[in-house]
Structure 1
Amino acid sequence: MTGFPIDDATPVTWPGPPPEEADVVVIGGGVIGVCTALYLAESGQRVVLLEKGRIAGEQSSRNWGWIRQQGRDPDELPIMVEANRLWRDLAQRTNVDIGLTQGGVTYLAKTDAEMARYADWIHHAAAHDVDSRLLRAGEVADLIPGMSRGYAGALYTASDMRAEPWVAVPALTGVAARAGATIVENCAVRTLDIQAGRVAGVVTEQGRIASPEVVLAGGAWSALLLRRHGIALPQLSVRATVAATDPLPMVYPGGAADDGIAFRPRKDGGYSLAAGGFHELFVGPDAFRALPKYLAQLRADPFGTRFLPAAPRGYPDAWSTPRRWDADGPSPFETMRILNPAPNRRKVAQLTSRFHALFPDIGPVRIKTAWSGMIDTMPDVVPVVDRVDALPGLTIGTGMSGHGFGIGPGMGKVLAALVMGDDPGHDLTRFRLSRFSDGSKMRLGPSV
């Protein structure tokens, strides 16, 4: 099994070289870019996917591995329902076991107020025939036995799934390659090639690729590339820490979370642990610039974010990271091939003690490894999935706000349809780029 997470030590699987021309260039080898390339290739497009580091090297191998419909923003939910179905199909087409398991997802509620919030969301599930339901305290104890404390209740979706992201995304890349996509790792896109006011290709560190269509699925790096071309995107990235335990007895086959800890079993017998509702923001120039757009989010969750004074050198929003560079010289994307933040060790120790306290009979909880990822987020916690009117030929799929792994196949199919001028099958109004510039009020959806 591929090590978790994927980093600079992971061997290059797809060395290239890149072609000189393509119908579509996809920038970014995370789950969104990979799935977009897959569905474009299956539609007969000559598509090349370019990744500056390794496939799934950043957040796509560092997430929790949940494939959840539960708690989604109502505008995301129909795409996620489709993604749930697509995951089942894609898992059958890979040549490895990606650990796809229907174990359910449970949000544990400590208070009646939390239960009321879950009850407010449940009608969205019913509108899309999702099997989410509210559990009473006794039902929670029966579903997850052995917990040291009781809960007021829970929100539970039995049809939700999990998979091993560091295995799944590379496996989907193999499916895309077999469908005809050209995959090139270690090949940064320095700039878009703009001619006569529209996209004509990209300039990479290995030369120019002519292409009338480009999809930007660059995760935490998307806003930096867009700013180079005069397009403002109020995207920030927050650090989230995950710990992986050694093998332990099975307590629950799905993903579960309360306001202090999230956990789910892995294929190797251990558990992945994370802090529900906690993340860290490195304050940089983009953070100051975007602050007005984020006020609604900060007011809604004032204590969920810890602010750190400055990003390490080379990060997308570090004070020293260039905002302008020439196409014929190294770009910030070559300076840092893989964004690999150090985990919050204090948080790892806290997660270990919380998990053991919740399951005191599970035995010693030993940490096998820990890592962090940078989650690219938007002010209203939903992504940008749109054609760029100001730059014809450019399509953006970014800012998945921690929802990207599970929804990846669904969003990839949507982005492929947008590029080809087909009906994406979903209302994408909520995800338009112009919502940040047309005077629209930031609307936080009832995602939970």
Structure 2
Amino acid sequence: MGPKVDTVSEDTTVPTEVDVVVIGGGIIGVSTALSLSDKGLRVALCEKGHIAGEQSSRNWGWVRVTHRDLRELELSIESAKLWRKLDETLGIETGLSQCGVLYMTDDDNVLESHRTWLENARSVAGDTFDTRIVDSKQVAALLPGAVKTFKGGLYTPSDGRAEPQKAAPAIANALRKRGVKILTPCAARGIETSGGRVSAVVTEHGTIRCQSVVLAGGAWSRLFCGNLDIDLPQLLVHGSVLRTTPVEGGPTCNASNKRFAFRKRADGGYTVAYGFRSYSDLTPDSFRLFFKYIEALKSQLGSLRIGVGARFFEELRRPRRWALDQPTAFEQVRTLDPDPMVRFVDGGLREFISVFPRLATARIAHRWAGYMDVTPDAIPVISGVDSLPGLFIGTGFSGHGFGIGPAAGKLMADLVTNDTPLVNPHAFRLSRFNDGTKIVIDAGF
């Protein structure tokens, strides 16, 4: 079972009409609703399960600029600025802490890749971020209690963490106070059109007329798009995490290498994962999209495990087309809640304890897993849809969405209102997968 998430009370009374309907109550959806509301628009958000019920509450909680894909770098920098203002602006508690992010290594080749990334990042964003290379002594100072010596690393002091189980629900509750309709549980079944553009969203509780729709459906976005004849390439990767009981001492920064990753939690324990190891089920979409994902598969050899399980047959039986006046898959499965890969997360904890033996008293309090929505180039879609005016898609964040959520939401709101965009959105356009653009994978961290 997934982690316990702060509550947002249920409301299934749909409004007759709004300016924009946001589909999906994760960090991208609530951030988009926030920015649209800031612009003075009438907004309704529809969530089929509960706010932050899927990957938005199941991630590591990192808020980072460090080692981002360069196409995401400026968005990450802007997002860090927004995170720092969220609590004060909305009167909420997201658990944000600027504790720093460290990528440490004892491999000369990896350290050189960190230097290369930093040089390239500065050519993109100049001195607008504070990432630096640190040596062995500086790493040791950042990792008190470590018995292993690392050669160096990449470190950003202003990076940090927030609490995934708190952040999106806190934003949603603040939005409700300012008049935004937060509808949950309320599955969006599909979109109606008029004159060739969006005119309404059909939900399980009624129809909402609108001018624009933002689909921020995470793992469900490809299925939803298919009923609209929109080809959104997206597959799911299964990631597992655990949290420990509270333990005194130890590092306070977020840190990772290829064998384990961790962050200190507000409750005194640690969130721990097995570095960058993940798992993906083969599904019918794996074969449909095989040629779009060849480069991604090559880049992930050694870190991605692939298998066949129940998901293959579940998705094979799932209708890919449906009528809007009948219950849909979105109502049948309110929350994706996969079992954690115990050998992965427990292996990460063993590595963690081997480096920090004084923390060996920590016990496993909870394990969980989630599905990351991954695009062929591992960067998101934040884009309008050329074939259906009024529809915008924010999905495919490929495990990076929590940290860049606030800026992704602001960029999406800018696109909806045709305002000057927060950053250049060209890299995030949906059309890149079909216009001959070469798929480029950042094989780093």
Question: For the superposition of Structure 1 and Structure 2, which TM-score range results when normalised by the shorter chain?
Answer: over 0.9
AA in 2 matched with 1:325? W
2:115 pairs with 1:119: yes
Say whether the 8 Å CA contact 1:283–1:311 is kept in structure 2: no
- 2:57 pairs with 1:61: yes
Residues 172-194 of structure 1, C-alpha deviation per residue, up to 9 Å, x if partnerless? 11222233311001100111112
**1:391 — aligned with what?**
388
Match of 2:411 in 1: 414
* Residue of structure 2 equivalent to 1:5: 3
**Is the Cα–Cα contact under 8 Å of residues 6 and 57 in structure 1 kept in the other structure?**
no
Verify: 1:336 aligned to 2:333, yes or no: yes
Deviations 1:201-250 (A, max 9, x none): 11110111111200000000000000111111110111100000000123
Give the 3-state SS of the residue equivalent to 1:93 in structure 2.
Answer: helix
- Aligned counterpart, 2:11: 15
Match of residue 99 from structure 2: 103
Residue of 364, 376, 379 corresponding to 2:376:
379
Secondary structure at the counterpart of residue 97 of structure 1: coil
**Deviation at residue 195 of structure 1 after TM alignment:** 2.5
In the TM superposition, what is the alpha-carbon distance from 1:414 to its structure 2 partner? 0.5
The one-letter amino acid paired with 2:438 is K
What is the deviation of 1:354? 1.5
Residue 299 of structure 1 aligns to a residue whose secondary structure is helix
Q: Does 1:43 align with 2:39?
A: yes
Which one of 85, 88, 95 corresponds to residue 84 of structure 2?
88
TM-score (norm 1): 0.95
Distance 2:172 2:120 in 1: 32
Deviations 1:101-154 (Å, cap 9, x if unpaired)?
110000011200101111111024433421111111222112212212111211
> How far apart in 2 are the matches of 1:352 and 1:36?
35
Query: Would the aligned equivalents of 1:31 and 1:405 in 2 still touch at CA under 8 Å?
Result: yes
CA distance in 1, matches of 2:147, 2:371: 32
Q: Once the two structures are superposed, what CA deviation does each residue of 1:274-321 show, in whole Å capped at 9, x if it has no partner? A: 122111111111111111111111112212111120343896xx2222
CA contact (8 A) 1:134 1:154 kept: yes
Note if contact 2:240-2:344 (Cα within 8 Å) is conserved in structure 1.
yes
Between 277-286 and 237-246, the greater mean CA deviation after superposition: 277-286
CA distance, structure 2, for counterparts of residue 439 and residue 367 of structure 1? 47
1:6 deviates by 4.3
Q: 2:423 aligns with which of 412, 426, 440?
A: 426
Partner of 1:130: 129
User: How many angstroms apart in 2 are the aligned matches of 1:250 and 1:341?
Assistant: 32
**Aligned equivalent of 1:228:** 227
- Give the conservation status (yes or no) of the 8 Å contact 1:6–1:58: no
3-state SS, counterpart of residue 130 of structure 1: coil
Give the AA of the match of 2:427.
R
Instruction: Determine helix, strand or coil for the equivalent of 2:34.
Output: helix
Residue in structure 1 matched with residue 30 of structure 2 by the alignment: 34
DSSP 3-state at the match of 2:12: coil
The farther-off stretch of 305-314 and 396-405 is: 305-314
Paired with 2:292 and 2:25, the residues of 1 have a C-alpha distance of 28
Q: Secondary structure at the match of 1:385?
A: strand
Deviates more, 1:14-23 or 1:239-248: 14-23
Note the 1:47-446 alignment, pairs <5 A. 47-126=43-122, 127-128=125-126, 129-312=128-311, 318-445=315-442
The percent of aligned pairs where both chains have the same amino acid is: 43
Which letter does structure 1 place at the counterpart of 2:392? Answer: T
Deviates more, 1:385-394 or 1:168-177: 168-177
Distance 2:400 2:203 in 1: 29
The CA distance in 1 between the partners of 2:365 and 2:432, in whole Å, is 43
The secondary structure found in structure 1 opposite 2:405 is helix
Task: Label 1:31 to 1:82 Cα distance change in 2 as closer, same or farther (>3 A).
Answer: same
| Structure 2 contact 67–444 (Cα < 8 Å) conserved | yes
Q: Contact 2:222–2:231 (CA<8 Å) still a contact in 1?
A: yes
Query: Are residues 101 and 4 of structure 1, via their aligned partners in 2, closer, same or farther at CA, if it must alter by over 3 Å?
Result: farther
Check whether the contact 1:203–1:327 (CA below 8 A) recurs between aligned residues.
yes
What is the CA RMSD across the aligned residues, in angstroms? 1.7
Kindly state the Cα deviation for residue 383 of structure 1 after the two structures are TM-superposed: 0.4
Q: CA 1:11 to 1:360, structure 2 compared with 1: closer, same or farther past 3 Å?
A: closer
CA contact (8 A) 2:52 2:165 kept: yes
- TM superposition shift of 1:11: 5.8
| Cα distance in 2, alignment partners of residues 12 and 311 from structure 1 | 31
8 A Cα contact 2:105 2:257, kept in partner: yes
- What one-letter code is carried by the residue in structure 2 that aligns with 1:65? G
Change (3 A) 1:313 1:435: closer
* Cα distance, 1:71–1:311 mapped onto 2, change above 3 Å: farther
